[in-house]
Amino acid sequence: GDSVTQMEGPVTLSEEAFLTINCTYTATGYPSLFWYVQYPGEGLQLLLKATKADDKGSNKGFEATYRKETTSFHLEKGSVQVSDSAVYFCALIGTNTGNQFYFGTGTSLTVIP
Amino acid sequence: DGGITQSPKYLFRKEGQNVTLSCEQNLNHDAMYWYRQDPGQGLRLIYYSQIVNDFQKGDIAEGYSVSREKKESFPLTVTSAQKNPTAFYLCASSQRRGGEQYFGPGTRLTVT
């Protein structure tokens, strides 16, 4: 079935470091891909999305490119800030599985000054 | 402001009691969802509803019940049959099934 695999956390970076959080997926058909962010004690917020191969989603300095050849949707940011400390979830909507949403297990990021 | 509200933010109950978590949306979305989140785990789908008066079980529906009498509201009841009810519960909605989901702030339920 459809699934999403994220890199294990936690990740700790210094302010202004480069961030990559890996996400790969398994899906039949042509899923849409998402990154959500969860700040402590809050719900999830949509960070960015891509709906077809080679699309790049971007928001607040974060980017991710939908790579069908490697079935990946890695999240990147060139210079992280303390305020980026949160848990990041990769997710997909499968097109062949009743449009169900599948979430990764989340990657915790802590940015230290 | 359009959005999803969940209340209360924190809820405490004694074992053996049923408890109902509230979820309301004013986004005019057709589909609504309930997820459970445990530490170190991803989100697991409990129930979802695509239209009023219809709902479907998700991956972990045992010990939970829902109703969808109004488009805006999708309350979740955690029954005494749920063996490990202590968790963070998230409600979400989407314009239609398969659309991007918008989340409420969550309710943290503690059962002792």
The Cβ of residue A105 has, within 10 Å, a number of other Cβ atoms equal to 17
Q: Is the dihedral of CA A93, A95, A99, A105 positive or negative?
A: negative
B83-106: average pLDDT: 90
pLDDT value at position B99?
Answer: 81
| Statement: residue A19 has pLDDT above 60 | yes
B52-71: average pLDDT: 95
B52-81: average pLDDT: 95
Query: What distance in Å separates residue A85's CA from the closest CA in chain B?
Result: 16
Question: Which of the four pLDDT bands, split at 50, 70 and 90, describes residue A29?
Answer: confident
DSSP B13: E
Task: Say which residues have a Cβ less than 8 Å from residue A91's Cβ, sequence separation at least 6.
Answer: A4, A33, A34, A35, A36, A101, A102, A103, A104
Higher pLDDT, B39 or B57: B57
pLDDT value at position B33?
Answer: 95
Report the alpha-carbon distance of residue A31 to residue A2 in Å, rounded.
9
Nearest-CB residue to A42 (from B41, B100, B106): B106
Cβ(A82)–Cβ(A111) under 8 Å?
A: yes
* pLDDT > 70 fraction of chain A, expressed in percent and rounded: 96
Report the alpha-carbon distance of residue A32 to residue A53 in Å, rounded.
9
B2-13: average pLDDT: 91
User: Would an 8 Å CB–CB cutoff place A89 in contact with chain B?
Assistant: yes
pLDDT value at position B63?
Answer: 96
A73-86: average pLDDT: 97
| Statement: residue A55 has pLDDT above 90 | yes
| Statement: residue A70 has pLDDT above 90 | yes
* pLDDT > 90 fraction of chain A, expressed in percent and rounded: 77
Higher pLDDT, A95 or B42: B42
**By CA distance, what is A39's nearest residue in B?**
B105
- State chain B's mean pLDDT as an integer: 92
Q: Which residues of B touch A (CB under 8 A)?
A: 4, 6, 33, 40-43, 45, 90, 92, 97-106, 108
B76-81: average pLDDT: 94
Question: Which of the four pLDDT bands, split at 50, 70 and 90, describes residue B1?
Answer: low
pLDDT digits (tens, 9 = 90+) for A80-106: 999 999 999 999 987 765 667 889 999
**By CA distance, what is B6's nearest residue in A?**
A43
Query: What distance in Å separates residue A44's CA from the closest CA in chain B?
Result: 6
Nearest-CB residue to B42 (from A45, A89, A98): A89
Three-state secondary structure string covering chain A: CCEEEECCCCEEEECCCCEEECEEEECCCCCEEEEEEECCCCCEEEEEEECCCCCEEEECCEEEECECCCCECCEEECCCCHHHCEEEEEEEECCCCCCCEEECCCEEEEEEC
Range name among A21-30, A89-98, B42-51 with the lowest pLDDT average: A89-98
